[in-house]
Amino acid sequence: MKTRKTKLALVLFITLSQIVWGQGSLTPPGGPAASMKSLGEIDQSISNVLISVKTAEPRTPLIAGEPGVSIDPYFGTISINSSGSYYLTKNLTVSSKNGIAITADGVTLDLNGFTIRSSSTSTTGSGIYINGSSVFIFNGHIKSGTSYDSSASGDQYTGTGFSNGIYSSSVPNNKIHIKNMTVSGCDLHGIYLPADSSCIVESCVVQIVGGTGIYAGIINNCSSTTCGGSGISGITISNCEGSSTGSHGIYAMGVVLNSYGSTFSTSSSHRGIHATDSVKNSYGYSKGGNGIHSGCVENSYGSSSSQETTSTGIYCSMVQNSYGYSHYGTGINSTIASYCIGMGGTSTSVYGIQSFIAVACRSYYGENITYKYNMP
């Protein structure tokens, strides 16, 4: 009698035999058939694809004689008057007025890493002037001759060259996108676009401008420092640094996220960060006014070194998980405060925290709280 293990082995052998030997002929099918494409035919196919790509999105150099391009013979301004994709081939210096003027819709401009300058002895024009919609500009530099003198009386931003770095007329919904640009030394604004959500500025750096550093709808990953006006101004501002000598560090008609705003103006009306909606994960400093001034503040730090008792570290309607400090004024002034720390000045008219309701907060140098919970 076969044992149970012997029967099991026999069944497995028969099954494996059917799998291995039941697959049909193993004879090789032979060499490649004549119907396969030759290397020459493959090369031609690749060439056809490249031609199709080039035809679908041609790039036009910004030189005389190219379609859609004209160059001013006196000042050197390059004008783009037809939609399409263009690129700069070398550094550009103009003697007056604009560096590049875009007067068409649907323009993509690659500066190719080159720099636009002006040799004008007075300030005039813009490095890039935009009078069109659906415009994308990227990868370049605009340098001008304005400098900042903190000890000067009157206008502290003076020099030569461009009035603005990149400037667009205020037409709503004109869909302008600026990326990877640097702007420095302009008498007025650095990058100035209509303040609607269709206008985006990202990954740009602005330094030393007499007016607003960056003005647009949505601003991401940008730095704008030493500005006579607001460092950065827009609707939604995130991951940015804005610094001003004469206005707000950051001014938002909406939300500020993960950003740092500072102003060295001594005016009590100028804030490190001012946002009509909310401020989150940010730091605001003011030498003259409130560190942070907003509707709601969360996970943020506001500081004021003003000598005015009316200036606060954080001034808002609701604040949580934040720290507010004021050298002479109130640390935090909010209707509702939770899980916060406030430190104010030593005057009897100011407080660490001034609030209607406070929950789990800590106040240094006095408090003015109507209802408080989980607090000493």
Q: What is the pLDDT of residue 26?
A: 46
Helix segments in the chain, DSSP class H: 4-21, 39-56
d(CA 236, CA 216): 9
> Binning pLDDT at 50, 70 and 90, where does residue 22 land?
very low
Q: Beta-carbon neighbour count of residue 55 at 10 Å?
A: 8
Tell how far CA 213 is from the center of its chain.
12
Region 263-285: mean pLDDT is 98
Distances (CA, A) of 55 to 49, 59, 65, 335: 10, 9, 19, 62
Write out pLDDT tens, residues 43-68: 555 545 444 444 345 899 999 999 99
Write out pLDDT tens, residues 157-215: 999 999 999 999 767 678 999 999 999 999 999 999 998 899 999 999 999 999 999 99
H/E run at residue 324: strand 323-326
Q: Are 234 and 215 in contact (CB under 8 A)?
A: yes
Q: Are 359 and 373 in contact (CB under 8 A)?
A: yes
In sign, the C-alpha dihedral spanning 352, 356, 361, 366 is positive
Write out pLDDT tens, residues 209-268: 999 999 999 999 999 999 999 999 999 999 999 999 999 999 999 999 999 999 999 999
Q: Are 219 and 190 in contact (CB under 8 A)?
A: no
- The pTM (predicted TM-score) of the whole model is 0.84
Name the β-bridge partners of 147.
158
d(CA 1, CA 268): 106
Task: Read off the DSSP letter of residue 161.
Answer: B
Name the β-bridge partners of 69.
80
- Show the CA angle centred on residue 162, arms to residues 270 and 174, nearest 5°: 75
What are the residue ranges spanned by the domains of the chain? 58-149+156-225+237-247, 256-376
d(CA 160, CA 327): 39
